[in-house]
């Protein structure tokens, strides 16, 4: 199965034009509102997130929420609230 | 959005910030359900535990029977019908097929890296019990994986972790394991089906692989989540754990059928039927 790798801008544009008919890879930051808007337009019901593990790993920094990477977890959680 | 599955390292639940994470999620209206650490060792030739959790919005009704059913889906010995240690690399047909000596030379660590891998002050805590101090080069011997073993030590920094600051490595340990291949030691290699393309850059490729989640881990939490959701889901789960895991294994790439060839910057696995 092949799918396009697209930017958040293209993703939002295609979502607005109802041109996302199959799987796509959006290469961008989860904090980018264009990704969120595109997902809301598509009425995404279920998500699977794998936030950076280094802030929580014993082999990594273990900086938790003190690091920018650690805060990505909270961003992922906030998605649910926004879309509901 | 109705549900969100989150994957991370087992250590997240021991973090000082863990309760804060869950509190923030609750304030966002999310119910925290079905969390746990799952090992895929009974099914795959890999030691890798992942923390997996399902969040559902508080407006979603969860039936207590569905909650019980979701809790019963697991990778435990009873659920998967297999005991530890589970399959090795060879038994899973997961040994990368031979390529030319030249191709493999890029996977052989330099002398400086070998020296670091043999340092007793850089071994991670989980490796301590594996070191046989009566052997020559005891630390590096504890880092060897053969085809009769499982893969262990898969991290995002694999292959380049030795470049991190030495104080960090002394505190956290150098996780790197090496694969014994026809008498020599090298970084491990993985093969993916033709539909999967990973970076031709070795460091980026290991980063992608080290951050990846196994299909077994992904399935277990998807199955739990959609069992939880009951009538709310568009993906009803007819959940026979053993049958489903067998389907996943049947679809896994069988590396002995392939031969590696170089095409530009990429190493491609080819077989006669492609």
- pLDDT tens by residue, A27-41: 999 889 999 899 999
Structure confidence at residue B229 (pLDDT): 92
Q: Worst-scoring range by mean pLDDT, A56-60, A67-71, B127-131?
A: A56-60
pLDDT band of residue A45 (cuts 50, 70, 90) is confident
pLDDT tens column, B182-239: 888 999 988 888 778 888 888 999 999 998 999 999 999 999 999 999 888 877 777 7
Structure confidence at residue A10 (pLDDT): 97
**Residues A40, A16 share a domain:** yes
Is B21's Cβ below 8 Å from some Cβ in A? Answer: yes
**Residues A35, A54 share a domain:** no
Indicate the average pLDDT of chain A: 88
Nearest residue in A to B155, CA atom: A59
Structure confidence at residue B232 (pLDDT): 84
* Confidence check: pLDDT of A71 > 70: yes
Note whether A81 contacts B4, CB cutoff 8 Å.
no
* Confidence check: pLDDT of B12 > 80: yes
Using a CB-CB cut-off of 8 Å, the residues of chain A touching B235 are: 46
pLDDT band of residue A73 (cuts 50, 70, 90) is confident
- Residue B40 burial by Cβ neighbours in a 10 Å radius (0-12, 13-18, 19+): buried
pLDDT tens column, B99-130: 777 677 889 999 999 999 999 999 999 998 99
Structurally, chain A folds into a number of domains equal to 2
**Residues A63, A40 share a domain:** no
Per the CB < 8 A criterion, the answer to whether A77 and B34 are in contact is: no
| CA distance to partner chain B, nearest, from residue A56 (Å) | 5
**Residues A40, A50 share a domain:** no
**Residues A55, A40 share a domain:** no
B158: which 2 tokens?
A: 């694999």
**Average pLDDT for residues B235-258, to the nearest whole number?**
88
d(CA A13, CA A35): 10
Give the predicted TM-score (pTM) of the model: 0.90
Per the CB < 8 A criterion, the answer to whether A28 and A3 are in contact is: no
**Residues A6, A38 share a domain:** yes
**Residues A57, A29 share a domain:** no
| CA distance to partner chain B, nearest, from residue A11 (Å) | 18
From the CB of residue B235, how many other CB atoms can be counted at a distance below 10 Å? 12
A49: which 2 tokens?
A: 């997130």
**Average pLDDT for residues B166-189, to the nearest whole number?**
93
Indicate the average pLDDT of chain B: 90
**Average pLDDT for residues B228-254, to the nearest whole number?**
87
**Residues A22, A56 share a domain:** no
Structure confidence at residue A83 (pLDDT): 62
Using a CB-CB cut-off of 8 Å, the residues of chain B touching A51 are: 6, 8
Q: Could you tell me which of A50, A74, A76 has the C-alpha nearest to residue B18?
A: A74
* Confidence check: pLDDT of B181 > 60: yes
Structure confidence at residue A15 (pLDDT): 97
Q: Which of B17, B50, B127 to mutate to test the interface with A (most CBs of A within 10 A)?
A: B17
Structure confidence at residue A1 (pLDDT): 63
pLDDT band of residue A84 (cuts 50, 70, 90) is low
pLDDT tens column, B34-43: 999 999 999 9
Is B270's Cβ below 8 Å from some Cβ in A? Answer: no
Which of B2, B15, B235 lies closest to A64 in CB terms? B15
Note whether B57 contacts A73, CB cutoff 8 Å.
no
* Confidence check: pLDDT of B274 > 60: no
Partnered with residue B180 across adjacent β-strands are B185
Note whether B5 contacts A48, CB cutoff 8 Å.
yes
Q: Worst-scoring range by mean pLDDT, A6-10, B111-115, B202-206, B264-268?
A: B264-268
Structure confidence at residue B102 (pLDDT): 66
Note whether A59 contacts B155, CB cutoff 8 Å.
yes
Structure confidence at residue B197 (pLDDT): 84
d(CA B260, CA B268): 6
Q: Which domain holds residue A67?
A: 46-84
d(CA B219, CA B238): 12
d(CA B53, CA B37): 9
Instruction: Count contacts between A and B (CB, < 8 Å).
Output: 107
Is B4's Cβ below 8 Å from some Cβ in A? Answer: yes
**Residues A1, A35 share a domain:** yes
* Confidence check: pLDDT of A16 > 90: yes
**Residues A39, A23 share a domain:** yes
Per the CB < 8 A criterion, the answer to whether A50 and B6 are in contact is: yes
Structure confidence at residue A82 (pLDDT): 66
* Confidence check: pLDDT of A58 > 90: no
CA distances from B242 to B83, B201, B248 (A): 13, 37, 10
**Average pLDDT for residues B53-62, to the nearest whole number?**
91
**Residues A39, A4 share a domain:** yes
**Residues A40, A1 share a domain:** yes
Note whether A1 contacts B195, CB cutoff 8 Å.
yes
Q: Could you tell me which of A75, A31, A73 has the C-alpha nearest to residue A56?
A: A73
Note whether A74 contacts B24, CB cutoff 8 Å.
yes
pLDDT tens column, B64-108: 999 999 999 999 988 888 888 899 999 999 998 877 776 778 899
Q: Which of residues 171-210 of B touch A (CB under 8 A)?
A: 172-173, 175, 195
């Amino acid at each position: 199965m092949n799918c396009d790798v697209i930017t958040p801008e293209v993703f939002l544009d295609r979502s607005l034009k109802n041109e996302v008919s199959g799987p796509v890879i959006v290469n961008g930051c989860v904090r980018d509102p264009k990704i969120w808007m595109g997902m809301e337009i598509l009425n995404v019901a279920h998500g699977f997130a794998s936030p950076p593990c280094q802030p929580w790993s014993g082999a990594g920094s273990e900086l938790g929420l003190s690091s920018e990477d650690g805060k990505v977890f909270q961003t992922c959680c906030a998605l649910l609230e926004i879309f509901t | 959005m109705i549900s969100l599955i989150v994957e991370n390292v087992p250590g997240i639940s021991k973090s000082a910030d863990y309760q804060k994470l869950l509190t923030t999620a609750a304030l966002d209206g999310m119910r925290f359900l079905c969390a746990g650490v799952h090992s895929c060792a009974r099914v795959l030739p890999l030691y890798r535990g992942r923390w997996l959790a399902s969040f559902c919005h508080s407006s979603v009704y969860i039936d207590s029977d569905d909650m019980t059913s979701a809790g019963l889906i697991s990778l435990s010995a009873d659920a998967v019908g297999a005991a530890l240690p589970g399959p090795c690399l060879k038994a899973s047909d997961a040994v990368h097929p031979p390529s030319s000596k030249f191709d493999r030379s890029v996977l052989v660590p330099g002398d400086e890296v070998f020296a670091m891998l043999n340092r007793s002050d850089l071994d991670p805590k989980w490796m301590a019990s594996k070191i046989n101090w009566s052997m020559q080069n005891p630390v590096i011997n504890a880092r060897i994986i053969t085809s009769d073993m499982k893969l262990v030590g898969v991290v995002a920094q694999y292959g380049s972790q030795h470049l991190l600051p030495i104080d960090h490595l002394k505190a956290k340990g150098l996780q790197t394991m090496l694969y014994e291949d026809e008498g020599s030691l090298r970084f491990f290699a993985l093969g993916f089906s033709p539909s999967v393309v990973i970076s031709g850059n070795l460091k980026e490729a290991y980063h992608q692989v080290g951050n990846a989640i196994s299909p077994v881990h992904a399935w277990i939490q998807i199955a739990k989540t959609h069992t939880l959701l009951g009538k709310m889901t568009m993906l009803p789960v007819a959940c026979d754990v053993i049958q489903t895991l067998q389907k996943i294994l049947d679809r896994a790439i069988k590396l002995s059928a392939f031969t590696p060839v170089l095409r530009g910057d990429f190493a491609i696995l080819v077989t006669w039927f492609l």
